[in-house]
A and B are shown apart, each in its own frame.
Chain A
């Protein structure tokens, strides 16, 4: 009953079935009750590689490379057959300040036009192709008041629909891996909502009170 065979679930190819059979795992019950880490190590499987293969990294060190990369992505996604396992769902741009800030400043309006063109490309990906677009930006200080504000100025501030401000945690008991995330702009939720995250364990402090005072 419930013998493992190829095609039973995604990733279960004939090779994998043979490997598992060699370790004594023949049925679904065997597989589920086995320790997966151990199985993976013994069988030489690396399921992490599969996860890493799904991350595509593109280098873009100036605005034109960035625009080219986004346009390539747009044509690739538009041509892809929907429902295939290789569809892109999230685009992360780290960081947009690095490619745009050299263009700004001075009397050049070409820089601002290129920035708005980049904004349009990103918005097209988000809206027309249904991708989630995440962008990172830096903070600068205002000239007169010295207050911290997001970089890239006013024109860029209209582009993101949601903005989250990340900061290092404060306080005596705070460990080095704590960060606070504050919602400063949202089309649907009230702003000002803040959450503290421990980037060492990737858990929120509320859910794991035992971790407070035990830096990991």
Chain B
């Protein structure tokens, strides 16, 4: 649909596109070390139970992207697809205001001008929205970040609509995953998608989709893959969010796993009224071949 448009981009657009190539590397230096930083064309998954800071992390990353360069941002555009109607504009504006040196309405408005929000209420609507958004990616070369919150919102409804056939149940999400991969690769985007932990790890499998993805280095994380295999295959980097119940109520932790390099990292976050902040100490866990884990503190 857009290939003719794509070929006919102007010189400035080409420069903008190429310049944007390295711009997302510094999106969050604490979360992504050099070797793991999201390369354009990557898909990252945020997974965790409710109230663990996934959406809050998305606000943090969004703010970083839409702030102007003079205020420490990356000045790129962000497209946010909200499937469970959780997006809170007031919260995003609060986070932005606290990051700006002078939070006047003009600056906030300009930042929000780089932010696009779409609501979807079913997986078919999500698929059709993605198809129609392709034109938008063509026309906005500085649109670098795509966010889907959350991808698992229609899981149960899809399973019932698909009847008895697991293939039918997963077909729309499979198409979404494949199209997302195509969009991300073709337009050099980074995709952050959240998925909810709606399955318990120890409970016996109900007639769920068969995906043998239990990796030994899950590091005790409460993760049971339940989305379709097509989605599992396109994810490059998975980040697990959890809340420390014993500690103070605003401390969270996340374990980040890069699926190719198999690097595991644990981080601690503090969630305050002004937004998310990283606690500086973290441990790097390295798994050796015989399964012995070595905890190196950095």
Contacts and interface: CB of A to CB of B under 8 A. Distances in A.
Interface of A: 107, 109-110, 112-113, 115-117, 120, 123-124, 126-127, 154-155, 157-159, 161, 184-185, 187-192
Given A154-B49, A188-B94, 6 more contacts: A109-B156, A113-B159, A116-B154, A116-B156, A185-B50, A188-B91
Contacts of A117: 157
B160 interface: yes
Contact of B85 (A110, A112, A123, A190): A123
B118 to A, nearest CB: 13
Given A188-B91, A190-B273, A158 B85 contact: no
List 8 tightest A-B contacts by C-beta distance, closest first.
A113-B160, A192-B249, A112-B156, A123-B85, A157-B50, A113-B156, A187-B88, A127-B85
A148 to B, nearest CB: 13
A155 B86 contact: no
Interface of B: 49-51, 55, 84-86, 88, 90-91, 94, 119, 121, 150, 153-154, 156-157, 159-161, 196-200, 206-207, 249-250, 271-273
Nearest to B150: A158
B51 A185 contact: yes
B250 A190 contact: yes
Contacts of A107: 206-207
A190 B160 CA distance: 37
Contacts of A155: 156, 196, 198
A127 B84 CA distance: 10
A40 to B, nearest CB: 41
B94 to A, nearest CB: 7
B200 A161 contact: no
Contacts, number: 71
A50 B1 CA distance: 59
Interface centre among B49, B94, B156 (most CB of A within 10 A): B156
A116 B196 contact: no
Nearest to A116: B156
Nearest to B59: A187
B151 to A, nearest CB: 12
B45 to A, nearest CB: 16
B174 to A, nearest CB: 18
Contacts of B154: 116
B269 to A, nearest CB: 14
Nearest to B249: A192
Contacts of B156: 109, 112-113, 115-116, 155
A126 B84 contact: no
B157 A116 contact: yes
B84 A154 contact: no
Contacts of A161: 86, 88
A160 to B, nearest CB: 9
Interface centre among A109, A115, A117, A189 (most CB of B within 10 A): A109
Contacts of A190: 249-250, 271-273
A123 B84 contact: yes
B250 A191 contact: yes
B296 to A, nearest CB: 32
A184 B51 CA distance: 9
A126 B249 CA distance: 28
Contacts of A191: 51, 249-250
Nearest to B55: A187
Nearest to A184: B51
A185 B86 CA distance: 13
A18 B207 CA distance: 72
A155 B153 CA distance: 9
A185 B250 CA distance: 11
Nearest to B121: A120
A124 B157 CA distance: 16
A10 B51 CA distance: 44
A91 B159 CA distance: 29
Contacts of A126: 85
Contact of B157 (A113, A154, A159, A184): A113
